[in-house]
Amino acid sequence: MNVRAAAAQVIYQVVDQGQSLSAALPAAQQEIKPRDQALLQEICYGVLRWLPRLESITQSLMDKPLKGKQRVFHHLILVGLYQLSFMRIPAHAAVAETVDATKTLKKPQLRGLINAILRNYQRQQETLDHQAMQHDAGRYGHPGWLLNMLRAHYPDQLDAVTAANNTKAPMWLRVNRRHHERTQYLALLAAENISATEHPQAADALQLTRACDVQQLPGFAEGWVSVQDAAAQLAVDYLQPQAGELILDCCAAPGGKTAHILERVPGARVVAIDSDEHRLLRVKENLQRLNLDAEVLCADARYPQQWWQGEAFDRILLDAPCSATGVIRRHPDIKWLRRAEDIEALASLQAEILDAMWQQLKPGGTLVYATCSIMPQENREQVTAFLARTADASLADRADNGSETAPGRQILPGESDMDGFYYAVLEKQPQA
């Protein structure tokens, strides 16, 4: 399949049909040549990052919008504009390949229209780009509801957060301590001419100077290393698991944190649960590659009585379902799939899970509440409300664990080149 046609179909599926990019893109990559898969991803991610700006330009170039069965060609125009505006592909090649995609999409009669629009953009590019940046959505590449929330909660960091969301995420590695110390693995990378740097806080994290195929990483197939953002790796540092403890990883898919616990503390007994059976396959695959063992259950965290009749847990890592507003740079479709009303619904679900999980924690135990969100309703406000209604809960005494009035640690996107993440460490008071 023509890669531009594939990109137009993926963007149509995400924007018009509400599919996730993580579902639509891999399916499309199977329909094109392997050498074109990176290009397809670059185009899809780029269009979704800068959708409002590209939409504004398109409206300026068209008398009337394409509707119904022709909507995919609207997205093909966005694909062409993104290449001309943001990519290094020669303009003549970008236009020719995009126009040629009309044949793959079985509407060659639209060839002239697509060609005219893209040629017009080339002639008026400076003016049209300037016009498209005169409104906030076009300038920041974010929908209005999200910009309003960011402006309300992070007025001084708005530019930095939106800029981070619109950049490519770096490739972070988690070194498996069962095989190598971080400095040892850094030397293995250097021997393969792969440049990397250590993270100052996440003790097992290495950032690659340039992303590469995982098969190029020394010992990847043998489980020496995994791909995981440094912010997510901090979960184990906050959890502080100990050998012999019974530990629950709640909402565990795709399993990176489950594996990290077992890599750090081989003697831990780990139970990993998630309500999505399909996503649990990833947990099992990751554990198998790393040669690690955990009890993996498909379960709803709100109703532990349905899946757990065993002893209470020494530690619980609750990586709660959330808006994922901290990982937009990795999943730009979040901007267009989420709605403002989702935040309140997610906060209600998080509270329900948090209350249920607290009952499964031993007195004297530790629960780490985590999200990949940057919304206070899901994070500090959530934990503040929980502490207020839970008599035997307290905030652990840690320098980076906030205060009773502003509990936890909020990491913003781009901070130390990490994803946006939130952590709060909670302790259950021993019984008198």
b/e burial code for range 390-429 (CB count within 10 A of at least 16 → b): eeebebeeeeebbeeeebbbbbbbbbebbbbbbbbbbbbe
Task: Please name the residue that has the structure tokens 């780009």.
Answer: 129
Residues with Cβ within 8 Å of 278's Cβ and at least 6 positions away in sequence, in order, are: none
Residue 21 half-sphere exposure toward CB, CA atoms < 13 A: 25
Helix, strand, coil shares, percent, the chain, to 5: 50, 15, 35
The C-alpha atoms of residue 330 and residue 45 are separated, in whole angstroms, by: 9
Answer whether 286's CB lies under 8 Å from 259's CB. Answer: yes
DSSP secondary structure, 201-245, as one string: SSTTEEEESS---GGGSTTTTTTSEEE--HHHHHHHHHH---TT-
Tell how strand 196-198 and strand 313-319 pair up. Answer: unpaired
Classify burial at 163, counting beta carbons within 10 Å of its beta carbon; exposed 0-12, middle 13-18, buried 19 or more.
middle
The residue annotated as part of the active site, out of 44, 251, 322, 372, is 372
Backbone phi and psi for residue 137, each to the nearest 5 degrees, phi listed first: -60, -40
Decide if 298 is catalytic: no
Q: Which helix (DSSP H) or strand (DSSP E) does residue 367 occupy?
A: strand 361-371
Q: Catalytic residues, which ones?
A: 372
